[in-house]
Amino acid sequence: MRRILLLLILSVSFSLLWAQADVSSKIDYLIKGLPAGSEVGISVFDLTAKKPVYTYRDTKLCRPASTMKLLTTITALSRPDADEPFRTEVWYKGIIEQDTLRGDLYVIGGFDPEFDDQSLDTLVDKVITYPFSAIDGRVYGDISMKDSLYWGHGWAWDDTPAAYQPYLSPLMYHKGMVTVTVTPSVERGEAASVVCDPASSYYTLTNTTRTRTPSAGKFELTRGWLENKNNLMVSGNVENRHSSDINVFSSQDFFMHVFSERLKDRGMEIPFGYAFAAFTPDSLSTCMVRYERPVQEVVNQTMKESDNLSAEALLCRLGAQATGKKHISAKDGIAEINKLIRQLGHQPADYKIVDGCGLSNYDYLSPALLVDFLKFAYSRTDVFRKLYKSLPVAGIDGTLKYRMKQTKAYKNVHAKTGSYTAINALAGYLKASNGHDIAFVIMNQNVLSAAKARDFQDKVCGVLCEF
């Protein structure tokens, strides 16, 4: 009996070793097919068996692109106060006399990155229920939560006015951008119809488009971004209806301008306009409304849509929670990420982290570090549950919606993508055919064809899902 049991154990062990050797040879073969001059770092770990499956240059420093968001999010979710919502508050300081507030109104920013039209209207609806219709004072925006640096270290200055590079502020509205929808006219040569959302006098619009007129040139949406102007300009040939997003300069001004605008539309008199100042409560202070955003909603946006603004909001809040101070900088949040790096047995000095979203050209991580963050998250049920549900699912949603369909990886891969010029990465979890949970990191570097890098990653995931 003992002999039979021993043979069974040896048989299973041999099968596992053979399967792992088969995985290694298949991935090795795929690596040989990568474009000349490109590089890749890979780390794969079996979370169920608690052992490595495959590594290839896993300690090599790589630019992570948006897989950097995993470090930010996992660190944020691991805190005891991780479930504290993002808050935006309105207070007044003064007294109400004969339909007039003798004092000031304050909007206190908490860096809610998903604060939209509905959120703003909620604030306005509540403010106008108070028994005054005139403010004999100022409307202030409190942006003291964060320092005044509106872009991350190493962000490319000429990426603006693209919406993926917002001007960061504790008071964000509509992600600091305007959505411009252009619809061709019925008649060729006529100007196309242009609708901007949200509508506001904060920006101007110039429309010189032409419907189905190739000689009008290529369609373009821009603004005078070199001069920090908010003069939206739409030009060129319009063949079909489409929407584009464009950022606007000074997110906090965008917020306060529209907030004041909406109050005035509802009958509120604000003769002295808005300004910015830190709020200090006193005996004459009253909280009028508090708007809260669940953290899971922000995490979902960070992961599913690879939202840079949401990731930076998580980083800023991480610093604020850890230090308890105001005027938080990116360094305060990064210090918390470095603490977790050290806790996982790595040295922060061996890596370079300068932002929370991976948009910077200065970020450098290794696959080995990133897979250890994934292993840590998996070991913490409270963290893993929130992270896993936020990750894009292969062939289903988010940035993996159109990938890995008709393969073994379909629905089995939950992972974060990362890409910009010559960089493409994929990191997350997958379910192998033997039922094991696998953590993996694939970081392609110096590959100009993003399509080839994605194809390589999808094939590696397919091999691992068949493991």
In tens, the pLDDT along 404-462 reads: 998 999 999 999 999 999 999 999 999 999 999 999 999 999 999 999 999 999 999 99
Arithmetic mean of pLDDT, 116-120: 97
Is 50 exceeded by the pLDDT of residue 18?
Answer: no
Position 22 scores a pLDDT of: 87
Position 163 scores a pLDDT of: 95
Position 16 scores a pLDDT of: 47
Position 467 scores a pLDDT of: 80
Rounded Cα gap, residues 341 and 398, in angstroms? 28
In tens, the pLDDT along 314-347 reads: 999 999 999 999 999 999 999 999 999 999 999 9
Domain spans of the chain, in order of start:
15-82+297-465, 86-148+250-293, 157-247
In tens, the pLDDT along 59-98 reads: 999 999 999 999 999 999 999 999 999 999 999 999 999 9
Mean pLDDT (the chain, rounded): 95
* CB burial of residue 408 (10 Å; 0-12, 13-18, 19+): buried
Arithmetic mean of pLDDT, 180-192: 96
Q: 14: pLDDT confidence band, cut at 50, 70 and 90?
A: very low
Q: What percent of the chain has pLDDT over 70?
A: 96
Q: 359: pLDDT confidence band, cut at 50, 70 and 90?
A: very high
Position 2 scores a pLDDT of: 59
In tens, the pLDDT along 146-155 reads: 999 999 999 9
Q: What is the CATH number of domain 15-82+297-465?
A: 3.40.710.10
Position 291 scores a pLDDT of: 98
Is 80 exceeded by the pLDDT of residue 20?
Answer: no
Q: Are the C-beta atoms of 103 and 67 separated by less than 8 Å?
A: no
Q: 19: pLDDT confidence band, cut at 50, 70 and 90?
A: low
Query: Regarding the domain delimited by 86-148+250-293, which CATH topology (the fold level of the hierarchy) does it fall under?
Result: D-tyrosyl-trna(Tyr) Deacylase; Chain: A; (3.50.80)
In tens, the pLDDT along 373-386 reads: 999 999 999 999 99
Position 373 scores a pLDDT of: 98
Position 11 scores a pLDDT of: 45
Position 96 scores a pLDDT of: 96
Task: Please write down the HEC assignment for all residues of the chain.
Answer: CHHHHHHHHHHHHHHHHHHHHHHHHHHHHHHHCCCCCCEEEEEEEECCCCEEEEEECCCCCECCHHHHHHHHHHHHHCCCCCCCCEEEEEEEEEEEECCEEEEEEEEECCCCCCCCHHHHHHHHHHHCCCCCCEECCCEEEECCCECCCCCCCCCCHHHCCECCCCCCCCCCCHHHEEEEEEECCCCCCCCCEEEEECCCCCCEEEEEEEECCHHHCCCEEECCHHHCCCEEEEEEEECCCEEEEEECCCHHHHHHHHHHHHHHHCCCECCCCEEECCCCCCCCEEEEEEEEECHHHHHHHHHHCCCHHHHHHHHHHHHHHHHCCCCECHHHHHHHHHHHHHHCCCCHHHCECCCCCCCCCCCEECHHHHHHHHHHHHHCHHHHHHHHHHCCECCCCHHHCCCCCCCCCCCCEEEEEEEECCEEEEEEEEECCCCCEEEEEEEEECCCCHHHHHHHHHHHHHHHHCC
In tens, the pLDDT along 261-286 reads: 999 999 999 999 999 999 999 999 99
Position 302 scores a pLDDT of: 98
Position 3 scores a pLDDT of: 59
Rounded Cα gap, residues 183 and 193, in angstroms? 5
- Could you tell me which of 65, 161, 62 has the C-alpha nearest to residue 360? 65
Position 1 scores a pLDDT of: 56
In tens, the pLDDT along 132-185 reads: 999 999 999 999 999 999 999 999 999 999 999 999 999 999 999 999 999 999
